Amino acid sequence: MFWPVLVIHVLLSLGLIFLVLLHSGKGGGLSDMFGGGLGATSAGSTVVEQNLNRITILVATAYTFTTVSLALLFPF
C-alpha cells in the first residue's frame, strides 16, 4: 500500500509544480500562451485562469491527502 501512494504522491508533486508555473504573475506568465491573456478584463481573471485555479486547488488537496497518508503508513 505504501508504494502506490508514493507513486501517486510523486506524480501529484510534479503536476503541482507544472500547474503553479502556468499561473500568470504580475507581468503575465506561461498561461498567456494558452489563452489566459485573451479578453482579459480589468475587473478580474479570465475563465482559463479560473479553471487553472480550480485544477491547482484540486491537485494541491490531493497532494495534501497523500502526504498525510504517507505519514500514517510509514511513521518514523
Residues 8-65 pLDDT 10s: 999 999 999 999 999 877 655 565 666 655 555 544 568 888 999 999 999 999 999 9
Q: Is 74 exposed, middle or buried (0-12, 13-18, 19+ CB in 10 A)?
A: exposed
What's the confidence (pLDDT) of residue 43? 47
Count CA within 13 A, CB hemisphere, residue 34.
14
In contact, 59 and 12? CB cutoff 8 Å? yes
Look-up: residue for cell 518514523?
76
- The answer to whether the predicted template modeling score (pTM) of the entire model surpasses 0.95 is no
What's the confidence (pLDDT) of residue 39? 52
Q: Which residue has the higher pLDDT, 41 or 70?
A: 70
